[in-house]
Amino acid sequence: MPSSERPIAALIYDFDKTLCPKDQQEYSFIPGIKMQPEAFWDSCREQQLKNGMDSVLAYMMQMLTQSRGTRLLTRDSLEKLGQAVEFFPGVEGWFSRINRIGAENGVTVEHYIISSGLKEIIGGSRIAGEFKAVFAASFVYGEDGLAMWPATSVNYTEKTQHLFRINKGILDMTNDRDLNGFTPEYKRRVPFANMIYIGDGLTDVPCMKMTRERGGASVCVYPGEDSSLADNMLLQNRCDYAVPADYRAGSPIENTVTLLFRRIAATHACRALHASQMDTATKRGGIPEWQLQLNKDNTDLES
C-alpha cells in the first residue's frame, strides 16, 4: 500500500519514567545544584502547598530559585543536560524498528511526546529527533540567556488538550483559535481511534482514559518486576494493557503495539470499503445517507 494511502498511527508518550527510568532533572540538573533528589522534590512540594501552586509551576520555580548564581538554566545548558538522560532498555532502537513494523502492517507511524518535564531537556536528549512534536513545559529566556519565567506548563489535566492538537493536526502551541474551532471528524488528521498513548502512572490517567473512550488504546509501562500500579490501572479500566518498560525487539510492548497497528489498518480498510460502497450505491440511484438521516429526523418529529 502506498504510504499516502496508509492511515497514520500516532504513538504518544509521556517521558519521565515512561521512556527514562527517573525524572529527567535527576540526571544532571539536581546534581549540578548540589542537592539530593528527595530534598529537591520536597522543596517543590513545600512551595506548592505554601502558595497553592500547580505542581509543574512549583518545580519550575524551584529550578529558577535553586540555580541562581549558576548558568544551569539557559536554553543551551538545559539541552546539554538532556544528553545525560538514560533510557529504558531498547528505547534508542525502538523508533526505527517500530516505524518499519508499522509500514509492514499498513500504517504510517508518527511519534509524539506529551510531558510535564522540560521541553529543552527532552530536546537535548539522544532521541529528540524521533518526534513529530514535543508538548512539554518550557521557559522564557532573558537577554542574558537565563530562564526568567515559565513559557508553557503541562500538568496532568492540561495534557489532554494536546491530544486534540494531534487529532486536528494543529501543532503550533500559539494557535488556539483553530484548536478550539469546530473541525468535522472526517477532516481531522489523526482520528482518536488511531492513537496509542504510552505512560507510566496516575498523571497519565486523563490522557489514557480520553484515548480509550474515543476508540484508541492506552498502554501502561512499569519498571522491573513491580507491576502493582500498572495492574491496578488495568483492572480499574484506566488503561488497556500493562507491560514492562522494555522496548527491545520481541518485547511485550512491541508485540502489543504491532497488534494495535493491525487493528488500525483493518479499521481504516473497513471504513474505506464502507465509504466506497455508499458512493457506489448512491451513483446507482439509491438514497444518499444524508437524505436517509433527514427522512428519519422528519419522521421522528412527526411522531
174 versus 263: which is more confidently predicted? Answer: 263
Strands (E), the chain: 8-13, 108-118, 133-141, 147-152, 195-199, 217-222, 241-244
Residue ranges covered by each domain of the chain: 3-22+80-272
As a CATH number, domain 3-22+80-272 is: 3.40.50.1000
The residue to which cell 500493562 is assigned = 242
Integer CA distances (angstroms), 256 to 44, 96, 139, 157, in order: 37, 17, 36, 26
The string of pLDDT tens digits covering residues 114-125 is: 999 999 999 999
Collect all residues with Cβ–Cβ distance below 8 Å to 279 and sequence separation of at least 6. none
The string of pLDDT tens digits covering residues 250-298 is: 999 999 999 999 999 999 899 888 888 888 887 777 666 666 666 666 6
- Sequence-separated contacts (24+) of 211-217 with Cβ below 8 Å: 211/12, 211/163, 212/237, 212/239, 212/240, 215/191, 216/192, 217/241, 217/260
Neighbour tally for 24: CB within 10 Å: 26
Collect all residues with Cβ–Cβ distance below 8 Å to 12 and sequence separation of at least 6. 111, 112, 113, 114, 163, 166, 195, 196, 197, 198, 207, 211
Q: What percent of the chain has pLDDT over 70?
A: 93
Gap between the Cα atoms of 287 and 278, Å rounded = 10
The string of pLDDT tens digits covering residues 192-241 is: 999 999 999 999 999 999 999 999 999 999 998 999 999 999 999 999 99
